[in-house]
Amino acid sequence: MRLHEYQAKSVFADAGIPTPPSTLATTVDEAVEAAEEIGYPVAIKAQVHVGGRGKAGGIKLAEDGGEAREAADAILGMDLKGYTVDSVLVEGAVDFVDELYVGVTMDRGAGKAVTMVSRKGGVDIEAVAEEDPDAIAREHIDPAFGQHPFQARKVVYDADIPGEVSSDVTKVLSTLYRLWEDTDASDAEINPLMVTSDGDVVAADAVLNVDDDALFRHPDLEAFEEESFEDDLERKASEYGFDYVRLHGNVGIIGNGAGLVMTTLDLVDYFGGEPANFLDIGGGAKAERVTNALDMVFSDPNVDTVVFNIFGGITRGDEVAKGINEALESLEEIPKPVVVRLAGTNATEGREILNTELVQTEETLEDAVQRAIENAAEVTNE
Ligand code: GDP
Ligand code: MN
């Protein structure tokens, strides 16, 4: 689960990390009211899960009520890299002299957490890592011991953080690591950690991604889940119990197993198509599950075609075929062409059962994916 900035900030603030005063608003009037209460200047920030909101026009500063109204009006409802903004965070603007970076993530290669500090905050840290890797100081943390205080001091020192703020930055990093560990997070990040003209540090942005499978251990964070969904599709997927990730292409993908779905995504990309989603319906293939999966994929307006990648195993191919038939027959109309690749146990029987008036069938995944891409191209050209 990826928390919104305002949610992550409230978690950080509760843990003692300095953050600017802020209020969430969903209407222009609410935003202006919040700005009046906080006092100008304010920053008005789109609450969507995309990086680089600043550059994309999702963050504006306002000096007075008129500007706040204008900024909130411009940002609320705007399309930011494919997402519609339905709330903004109104926040006291920070009078800053420097922007730093502080983060904790999992280094899978090392099998350990890694803490990172850099003076090059306020810009895309992935770009810094690529262009100037030495600008990011790193320190691995052994999970058996946790973060030793000297390790936090060391990485701050290695990053050449100015002496005036080094102890504050160390404190922020220690807290951030503790939060990362306590919340079963995959990433915790402050970019930028601003240095104010008074020599204080303030978290101007906040990222906290928590492992979905650990959410049951964090009832307080679970409460954020409903609002953390980016759109109705993600909410629907959670209700249906599917593993679903929305992408932004036009080829809908459904498979029974994460590996099969990933392979399909890769092949769609390989053959020059663009996947619309990752959707794993898991084991079994009861008609209801297939119907729900189709409902999900067809609810995405970008989808021009759907490809099923089914491998019969414990669930036999003929059962899956029945499920797909029933699901498709239950629809009043099939809005976009559906291609099915069926392999594995009882695949031949399954393909015989499939209602070819409703679906196209292919024996190999390569053929199925290419057929889907052709379908999508035809739909697009219509
Ligand atoms: P992101 O672009 O989505 O990562 O959003 P950030 O919250 O990190 O903001 C982007 C940039 O806005 C910052 O790095 C600052 O350079 C700039 N900015 C200027 N003034 C302010 C301010 O008062 N508050 C915040 N949050 N950002 C500001
Ligand atoms: Mn940021």
Minimum CA distance residue for ligand 1 atom 10: 54
Collapsing DSSP to helix, strand or coil, 107 comes out as strand
Ligand 2 center from residue 106 Cα (angstroms): 19
Residue 228: what pLDDT?
A: 66
pLDDT at 60 over 90: yes
The answer, as to whether pTM is greater than 0.85, is: no
Q: What percent of the chain has pLDDT over 90?
A: 72
> Does residue 185 belong to any structural domain of this protein?
yes
Minimum CA distance residue for ligand 1 atom 16: 122
Beta strands in the chain (DSSP E): 22-25, 42-46, 59-62, 79-80, 83-84, 88-92, 96-107, 112-118, 136-141, 185-196, 201-203, 207-210, 243-246, 251-255, 277-280, 305-312, 338-344, 360-362
219 lies in the same domain as 354: no
Per-residue model confidence as pLDDT tens digits over 115-159: 999 999 998 899 999 999 999 999 999 999 999 999 999 999 999
**Ligand 1 pocket check for 93: Cβ under 6 Å:** yes
201 lies in the same domain as 72: no
pLDDT at 64 over 70: yes
106 lies in the same domain as 167: yes
> Does residue 27 belong to any structural domain of this protein?
yes
pLDDT, mean of residues 292-304: 91
Q: Which residues surround the ion ligand 2 when the cut-off is CB under 5 Å?
A: 191, 205
pLDDT, mean of residues 60-72: 98
For the chain, what is the domain count? Answer: 3
Which has the closest alpha carbon to 103: 86, 116, 112? 116
> Does residue 1 belong to any structural domain of this protein?
no
307 lies in the same domain as 347: yes
Minimum CA distance residue for ligand 1 atom 26: 204
Tell me the C-alpha distance between 207 and 188, whole Å.
Answer: 5
Minimum CA distance residue for ligand 1 atom 24: 93
Cα–Cα separations (whole angstroms), residue 377 to 138, 363, 372: 46, 21, 9
Ligand 2 center from residue 93 Cα (angstroms): 14
Residue 273: what pLDDT?
A: 96
Residue 168: what pLDDT?
A: 98
Q: What are the catalytic residues?
A: 101, 189
Tell me the C-alpha distance between 170 and 149, whole Å.
Answer: 9
**Ligand 1 pocket check for 189: Cβ under 6 Å:** no
Please identify which residue in the block is written with the tokens 């239950």.
330
> Does residue 177 belong to any structural domain of this protein?
yes
Q: What CATH number did the domain enclosing 183 receive?
A: 3.30.470.20
Ligand 2 center from residue 52 Cα (angstroms): 7
307 forms beta bridges with 253, 339
Per-residue model confidence as pLDDT tens digits over 348-379: 999 999 998 999 999 899 999 999 999 999 87
220 lies in the same domain as 236: no
**Ligand 1 pocket check for 59: Cβ under 6 Å:** yes
> Does residue 12 belong to any structural domain of this protein?
no
> Does residue 269 belong to any structural domain of this protein?
yes
219 lies in the same domain as 248: no
Please give the mean pLDDT across all residues of the chain: 93
Per-residue model confidence as pLDDT tens digits over 274-291: 999 999 988 766 778 888
60 lies in the same domain as 129: no
Mutate which of 22, 42, 59 for ligand 1? The one with the most ligand atoms within 8 Å of its CB, which is 59
Angle at alpha carbon of residue 342, lines to 357 and 369, rounded to 5°: 80
244 lies in the same domain as 310: yes
pLDDT at 90 over 70: yes
pLDDT at 76 over 70: yes
Residue 180 host element (H or E): helix 163-182
343 lies in the same domain as 268: yes
Angle at alpha carbon of residue 337, lines to 321 and 363, rounded to 5°: 50
* Structural domain of 47: 21-92
Residue 235: what pLDDT?
A: 81
57 lies in the same domain as 107: no
Residue 288: what pLDDT?
A: 83
Per-residue model confidence as pLDDT tens digits over 192-248: 999 999 999 999 999 999 998 898 999 989 888 767 676 778 888 888 888 899 898
**Ligand 1 pocket check for 116: Cβ under 6 Å:** no
Q: What CATH number did the domain enclosing 281 receive?
A: 3.40.50.261
256 lies in the same domain as 151: no
Pairing status of strand 112-118 against strand 136-141: antiparallel
> Does residue 155 belong to any structural domain of this protein?
yes
Least confident segment among 39-43, 221-225, 308-312: 221-225
Given 224, 255, 280, the domain boundary residue is 224
Residue 276: what pLDDT?
A: 96
Taking the CA of residue 191 as reference, the ligand 1 atom at the shortest distance is 8
**Ligand 1 pocket check for 43: Cβ under 6 Å:** yes
> Does residue 13 belong to any structural domain of this protein?
no
Residue 284: what pLDDT?
A: 67
323 lies in the same domain as 292: yes
Instruction: Please classify residue 154 by burial: count the beta carbons closer than 10 Å to its beta carbon, then call 0-12 exposed, 13-18 middle and 19+ buried.
Output: middle
pLDDT at 92 over 80: yes
pLDDT, mean of residues 157-186: 97
Given 65, 92, 119, the domain boundary residue is 92
CB-based contact 125:101 (threshold 8 Å): yes
Residue 83: what pLDDT?
A: 83
As given in the structure block, the two tokens for residue 100 are 């730093």
Tell me the C-alpha distance between 259 and 182, whole Å.
Answer: 30
Q: What CATH number did the domain enclosing 75 receive?
A: 3.30.1490.20
Given 207, 224, 241, the domain boundary residue is 224
